[in-house]
Structure 1
């Protein structure tokens, strides 16, 4: 096998489209070509030495995570992005920025932009386009040129542990309309949008971060209910699509990211842009074939850009960021060297990455993502206005009446906030209690630590608070969770005037919530939704 060094060879040159790209002349040029399809994360708020070397030697770019961002240092992220582009002017800099629950750029304080479920509840595509533009402008200010959003999944399974309120809803037509609008909005800011998770993660009961997820639908059912939002994204000119690590039995036994039949399906639908893998460190790949082999299989399946993942995830403990990148680099390099991965396949992937970079540079100069990948039917040509996102999120809230009033007890009361949520969504990551923060702007707030309280002690605490005229709120994010239902029942038994704040899915078709408490459904957990709930509580009787 030829020797190579992924770092030390000549300065980067623009990657040419596949039709004109020269053959690699040796190990150094091949290493550069391999680098051009790898998209790693890294640790820190500055460019580490290994990443600088890799970028100068053709690395496709980077994905930002929350730990790359220091909100206490003004301008830190644009400076970081500039350093990355100094090392590689064609770098693709991406971030998961969906609004609502999933944000990296505003992770500490919570997103100021409503999430998909809020927008779906409002069902105003113009407002969704405005939210997309707000996301695009946030990304652009940070030096990000690929927003890994919107979620185009149709959440048809209420037990889905990872999509849920990240989707616009459970209606194919609604999700299609809002996916197109979000794409138009993001790309109007000169930032690429990346619709996810193809061919549709909405009907799973497993989280592919933690397990192999499966969609037990026929291909015909998939085409009818789950592919139309992706088609809407294609028609809107979406720049990129992210694959899902899900098994669709009719396509075979491999997850879609590693499945050539899934890749072929995507291209058959007419999408010619950038196909990005979901993170290769997720269990559906990591715990089966491994990230290195997964990278090779993904390229053989038609992927273009290999998202390596977050090096600070709990399941990567013991491996540093450079090792995560090197594992993928070595596997792809060896597969090309052995002939297992055809050079033409690698060149085609590199060509699409280069094409996106060229599009991004034009869009950035022009200030919008129009032209050959602009939104169809002029949807990007919107008279953009400032939106009061808290007011919008408050309008989206649904109230199911129980015994308690939809109001705080008074201006001088203490609020007891029982946080009954269990765990966190892997895509969102752990977050602060934004509802407590919003309440603290005007009230003393007591947040008991449920992990330290028995059920009896919690009942005593809540009963005492209610007897003193305090407002009791119970925060949940899954009304289907037995543990969260038990907490609601315990509170309702001693404080029937308490209010339930549901940050998860709303029961379909007006079904009962499973609690006698008055419930405010706010369709997600973010700064903007928390502030919307507090605004409702301060303004309604």
Structure 2
């Protein structure tokens, strides 16, 4: 049995925590000295000189892996304050040009490399077959397996050509769920045959493209028993059997699907036992008002100490953790030194314009301040980008009126409808399927002001009247939608 210091170093080699602030806290420096696998950057970490912070982390621990959720479109950490200027997966799926997707992947990788990070936690390889999905949606390339497969592979090639690692997510597919695993445990009702046919191929495509890492999903299915995929050796064993020999990374262990059932510590032990290699602990700001000043260190220690105890008791084999740590170290070696080659200038606007779809007859639209009535629901915890900048870009200095479509009464809707009839107005939506609250409010506004234009930044959906679809809650998508309005 290893000595205590050796055991701590071994366990640290499979842990990937978040931290608070834009400077390295003391506990993190100590953990890096003791072999910590690295860190995950979230928005709250990026307000200072991030490249200098990354350099400090790498000086402290040259093999430390710095990861970041930078998907483009609706999910950005680098551009949280402004909204993303990189196309998102749904936009790329609409365009269906694998060269554009590979170029976008390279641009994401280049930006991540520029701040000194090593792992892009993307692309999303989920096939979004359930339009009610609250957490994937426009983060996916689409709802067709062949489309998602070819664009997942292209994104992996682009990201990794920039010299950083890609991490395809969320195995074995989070696209056919209608529960957000940040809040509860989603359950699939698909047969194993349906999962095999429709949701696994994009991960095989990522493997064939040489992806360094694949992230698990906190989802369950009756045929797997009670354990979600992240904690399920049968599910993760299938990933290995299908030929993936890179790093299996867990989705965040502080998400409710894990934390409220087995806890961060229990999740850490069970994920390793199931075959995971690198444990993403999560964003310490997620508890919100309940967050403690040292929440980051607390979460890290819970995971570390639980694994140490499990090894000491014999519950978790030392060899399994050593195997996992070895894979993580091998990935760290693979992303250094950088190998990015010169590329042609990246034209994000062109891709975004190609992704716009116009339905119905657009009214004359002037380049002037515009009233925006924003009916969108609150973002999920996965999407901490500045979605408010979508409305700001569309308004161009005009008024922004926010309505909770789920709770708005007739008087409130009637009042904004009157305002909409008196000025150039956009109704901003991201879910206008038949029967949704946003569709009901949009139809009510149009009954009073029939010439309003709906701008849909969610999944494409049919709605009567003029609709401009630009599928991403991003600055880039909003600007493309406004250009489309001005062009008609």
TM-score tier, shorter chain, comes to: over 0.9
What is the aligned partner in structure 1 of residue 370 from structure 2? Answer: 415
**Residues 1:361 and 2:350 aligned together:** no
What is the aligned partner in structure 2 of residue 389 from structure 1? Answer: 348
Q: Given the superposition, is the C-alpha separation of residues 318 and 256 from structure 1 closer, same or farther in structure 2, using an over 3 Å criterion? A: same
What is the aligned partner in structure 1 of residue 322 from structure 2? Answer: 347
**What whole-Å deviation, never above 9, does each CA across 1:318-343 have from its counterpart, x for those lacking one?**
44110010100110000001111100
Task: Write the distance in 2 (CA, Å) between the matches of 1:210 and 1:261.
Answer: 24
**What whole-Å deviation, never above 9, does each CA across 1:360-393 have from its counterpart, x for those lacking one?**
114x1x337xxxxxxxxxxxxxx94223212221
Q: Given the superposition, is the C-alpha separation of residues 248 and 316 from structure 1 closer, same or farther in structure 2, using an over 3 Å criterion? A: farther
- Aligned equivalent of 2:447, options 456, 470, 493: 493
Q: What is the aligned-residue RMSD (CA, Å)? A: 1.8
What is the aligned partner in structure 1 of residue 152 from structure 2? Answer: 179
* 2:83–2:390 Cα contact (<8 Å) kept: no
Task: Write the distance in 1 (CA, Å) between the matches of 2:15 and 2:484.
Answer: 46
What is the aligned partner in structure 2 of residue 312 from structure 1? Answer: 285
Q: Given the superposition, is the C-alpha separation of residues 308 and 316 from structure 1 closer, same or farther in structure 2, using an over 3 Å criterion? A: farther
**What whole-Å deviation, never above 9, does each CA across 1:485-509 have from its counterpart, x for those lacking one?**
22202210111000001111113xx
Alignment of 1:116-195 (within 5 A): 116-195=89-168
**Residues 1:471 and 2:424 aligned together:** yes
1:458 deviates by: 4.1
**Residues 1:459 and 2:411 aligned together:** no
Alignment of 1:132-531 (within 5 A): 132-314=105-287, 317-319=290-292, 320-362=295-337, 364=338, 366-367=339-340, 384-402=343-361, 404-405=362-363, 407-408=364-365, 410-412=366-368, 414-429=369-384, 431-439=386-394, 443-450=396-403, 455-467=410-422, 470-480=423-433, 482-507=436-461, 513=462, 515-531=463-479
**What whole-Å deviation, never above 9, does each CA across 1:4-44 have from its counterpart, x for those lacking one?**
xxxxxxxxxxxxxxxxxxx73x1111011111111000000
Unaligned ranges ≥5, structure 1: 1-22, 369-382, 508-512
Question: TM-score when scaled to structure 1?
Answer: 0.86
1:459 deviates by: 2.5
* 1:436–1:445 Cα contact (<8 Å) kept: no
Per the alignment, in what secondary structure is the counterpart of residue 213 of structure 1?
Answer: coil
Per the alignment, in what secondary structure is the counterpart of residue 154 of structure 1?
Answer: coil
Task: Write the distance in 2 (CA, Å) between the matches of 1:485 and 1:261.
Answer: 42
**Residues 1:114 and 2:87 aligned together:** yes
What is the aligned partner in structure 2 of residue 19 from structure 1? Answer: none
1:353 deviates by: 0.5
* 1:45–1:69 Cα contact (<8 Å) kept: yes
Max radius of gyration: which structure?
1
Q: Given the superposition, is the C-alpha separation of residues 359 and 333 from structure 1 closer, same or farther in structure 2, using an over 3 Å criterion? A: same
Per the alignment, in what secondary structure is the counterpart of residue 485 of structure 1?
Answer: helix
**Residues 1:47 and 2:6 aligned together:** no
What is the aligned partner in structure 2 of residue 9 from structure 1? Answer: none
* 1:472–1:495 Cα contact (<8 Å) kept: no
Unaligned ranges ≥5, structure 2: none
What is the aligned partner in structure 1 of residue 480 from structure 2? Answer: 532
1:457 deviates by: 4.3
